[in-house]
Amino acid sequence: MRGTWRAAARMLALCLMIAGAMASEAAAHASLTGTDPVDGAVVAAAPQRFTISFSEPVSPLTLQVIRPDGEAVPLDRFAVRDRSVEIEAPADLSDGTHVLTWRVVSSDGHPVGGSVIFSIGAPSAAPPPIVEPMELPVRAGLLLTRVGLYLGLFFGVGGAFAIAVFFPQSRSGARAAMLFVLLGALATAASPGFQGLDALGAPLPRYLDPLMWSTGLSTSYGRTVFVLLGAFGLALVAVLVRTPWVSRACALAGLVAAAVAMSLSGHAGAAEPQWLTRPSVALHVATIAVWVGALIPLGQALRTNAADASAGLARFSTAIPFAVAVLIAAGVALTIIQVETPSALIETAYGRLLLAKLGCLALLFTLAIVNRWRLTAPAVAGGSAARSRLTRSIGAETVVVLIIFAIAAGWRFTPPPRALAIAAAQPASMHIHTADAMADLTVSPGRTGPVTVSAVIMTGEFGPLDAKDVTFVFSNPGAGIEPFRRKASKPGDGTWLADDVVLPLAGTWTVRLDILITDFEMTRISGEIQIRP
């Protein structure tokens, strides 16, 4: 009797398996058998025709090709020939990566969709990251406060140093230095509110919101603000006091504090290696302040024939070569670190600003060389003509310096190539967790273009999952891109990896993992991941 029941159970199981297989076959839809161009192909010239072949006749629902710039072009010129759909390609396909995506309906009435990625000439190069947009008034506020800060630092703090060291007797340019110190202090004190607006993406009407100010001061820029305000205070004391050694001590302390303040934040100070970048920033700032800060006191001393004009000019002429040498060395080191490759000078906004600044510096150095070799000696000797020409040349130098400050302030809105490269390499990740399985999936880099996809797979209870096969299925419904599949390999480190994936568009992508657990058991888990431009 027991043997009879066992035989019946086996027969029932066999019938269920046969029925299941028949049901599966009956439910099967048209499946893709081939495409031209094939998925992942790189063709030399733009194809004139696309072909999509299926296991049975189909009727197209939607057909489109997505260009490298993201534009979707409907394909309405096609012909169905037996089990294939032949599509006339647009005549103006350009080089780069394209997506041919389709949705068809098979003879059983079920829709089937898919995509093929192909490239003409070569795969599209990944575009540079897009800088987050900023409200124009906030941008203007940041720019104006930054320019005011530079004026206060270099003409104010630098001017106080020049007065105390080069012109202690006449104190030429003291009034201008005080005005620039006050301007710099005001601009610096006003800047944290704009920093907070920028950090939180808030509009200008929220400038007085305490949250904006606390946010701005909580960043590394907050340290710069506090130290720089101290530097302005020391510079003001240096200008006001009449005791020479006190004035020099305060001026030197203010110069050092200002240099340190500028190394505490900003793109250059944050770069690695910081044992080199922070000292380089401080030295660069200090030497610029020594040079630029002396322009107004020197010009005024020469113009008014101050008692210590000749002596001050001689002292400045002796010291400035050393300052310029340090300035150039620090500037070259920072440029190499920030720009990384010569091509970035042309290809990035940061590089183009740097070239503009270098052009102005070339003009500034030319003026300085003429002043030193042709005008300084006769001016020190008291020649009125030489002093007059030197005064005008110093005025021209001052104008060029102001232009340089305006250019340098633009760097606040342009990440350096070094930072762009770091941002571009950042991966995108997501975690999928279901009762059957879970996965930690990483797309690297997390931006458009060729990417590597890896996943660590476990059971839903965080246990090991020894899958036999894994396939990544990508789709972007928002952009009309039907699913395309990439089979993953298992390199031996416990991850599943696919390095032949191209994601041509930014935005939200749906990623499905088809996990074959046994020959007869498959589980599918899916989630959404954000891909950057």
pLDDT, one tens digit per residue, over 108-163 is 656 677 888 888 888 776 544 444 556 788 888 988 998 899 999 999 999 999 99
pLDDT confidence bin for 454, thresholds 50/70/90? very high
pLDDT, one tens digit per residue, over 73-84 is 888 888 888 788
**Strands (DSSP E) along 417-520, which ranges?**
428-433, 437-444, 449-459, 469-476, 481-487, 496-503, 507-518
Residue 524 has pLDDT above 80, yes or no: yes
Percent of the chain with pLDDT over 90: 39
Could you tell me if 254 and 220 are in contact, meaning their C-beta atoms sit under 8 angstroms apart? no
pLDDT confidence bin for 29, thresholds 50/70/90? low
pLDDT, one tens digit per residue, over 324-347 is 999 999 999 999 988 888 888 888
Q: Report DSSP state, residue 512.
A: E
pLDDT, one tens digit per residue, over 85-103 is 889 998 888 888 888 888 7
AA letter at 384: S
pTM of the model: 0.66
Residue 201 has pLDDT above 80, yes or no: no
Q: Which of 28-42, 136-150, 302-316 has the lowest mean pLDDT?
A: 28-42
Percent of the chain with pLDDT over 70: 92
Average pLDDT over every residue of 29-42: 76
Question: Whole-angstrom Cα distance, residue 414 to residue 234?
Answer: 32
pLDDT of residue 473: 92
CA distances from 449 to 72, 268, 332, 344, 347 (A): 17, 29, 33, 20, 18
Question: Whole-angstrom Cα distance, residue 530 to residue 106?
Answer: 32
For the chain, the distance separating the N- and C-terminal CA atoms, rounded to the nearest angstrom, is: 70
The tokens 């500034």 sit on which residue? 364
**Strands (DSSP E) along 171-287, which ranges?**
none
CA distances from 482 to 112, 430, 502 (A): 9, 21, 14
pLDDT top residue among 174 and 479:
174
pLDDT confidence bin for 478, thresholds 50/70/90? confident
pLDDT confidence bin for 274, thresholds 50/70/90? confident
AA letter at 77: R
Residue 477 has pLDDT above 80, yes or no: yes
pLDDT of residue 359: 93
**What's the mean pLDDT when you consider all of the chain?**
85
pLDDT of residue 10: 53
